[in-house]
Amino acid sequence: MGGGKYFCTMNRVKIWLEAFRLRTLPLSMSGIILGTALAYRDGFSDGSVFALSMLTTLLFQILSNLANDLGDHLKGADNANRVGPERATQSGKISAQQMKNAVLLFSVLSLLSASVLVWKASVYFFSEKVIAFLVLGVACILAALGYTLGKKAYGYLGLGDVFVFIFFGLVSVLGVYNLYVDEISFKPTLLAVTIGLLSSAVLNLNNLRDHENDKEVGKQTLIVRIGFINGKIYHMSLIFFSFAAAGLYYFLNFELGLLAMLPFVVLSLHAKKVRLTTNPRDLDPELKKVALMTFAFSVLSALLLVFVP
């Protein structure tokens, strides 16, 4: 009896971990790692701020994944025709009510974590900045919820790419960098743009893969609006301009070297794969590739920023 109970408990844990979509977490950490390394190079560091930033962004990402699971289920986008991993609510492994409770729980946890983070970092900046960061934290939660939940979910209006660029790129890198400094600085913008474009490329791949089903259920992603062929051109543009932004940064900071640009070798091969792909289902393995290369770029850049004099 005891063994059976243990097995059931472990099975439930596994189901929830799958719903968290752990493979998406490295991408969400990329901006935090990079923003912190940029601050460190400029003489600012705080281990507790870094730890709380990582915790907060992971909670935001899990919240977004759970809300996406619930929203797509309620709107019928997750169905038998969808490509990719089975979703928890769609499969019935987690009920809609249980998922709603989880979304509420992670909304509260995200808000608490963000509040503690701002309080801890507030010793480095003026009081008006505290209010700005608290507002930003609430905006992150609303963005995580609003992608697929609600009557005007922005993911269903073709605006997902814009929000991903802003929150995974600009907010993530510039936001965490400015947690450490006593004035607003846009110095890391080029690297923030790089992370934002690559993060948008991950979402775009997902939308390229699912565009046929999305069209049928009325999910007006950017790919549904512009078509599969134009979507592939758009995707290659995201890769190219992310390379251009990163390359310009390292050209202007040549003393760091070019080691961090190595992931773009893999990304260039990936872009070729996307260009030649005719079956959307074949794009599914490419999602992990872009996410991991974004993370690799972030880690390599951080190592250069921290250890190169």
pLDDT tens digits for range 207-216: 999 999 888 8
pLDDT at 248 over 90: yes
The runs of H, that is alpha helices, within 122-220 are 127-146, 160-164, 175-180, 189-217
The pLDDT of residue 1 is 46
Q: In this structure, are residues 145 and 103 in contact, taking their beta carbons and an 8 Å threshold?
A: yes
pTM, entire model: 0.93
The pLDDT of residue 61 is 97
The pLDDT of residue 82 is 60
Q: How far apart are CA 86 and CA 191, in angstroms?
A: 34
Q: In this structure, are residues 37 and 302 in contact, taking their beta carbons and an 8 Å threshold?
A: yes
Nearest one of 285, 278, 264, 141 to 197, comparing CA atoms: 264
Question: Tens digits of per-residue pLDDT, 64-107?
Answer: 999 999 988 888 766 656 666 778 888 888 999 999 999 999 99
The pLDDT of residue 3 is 54
Mean pLDDT value across residues 19-38: 95
Mean pLDDT estimate for the chain:
92
Q: Kindly state the DSSP code that residue 225 receives in the 8-state scheme.
A: H
Rounded to the nearest 10°, the torsion over CA 136, 137, 141, 142 is -30
The domain segmentation of the chain, as residue ranges, is 25-307
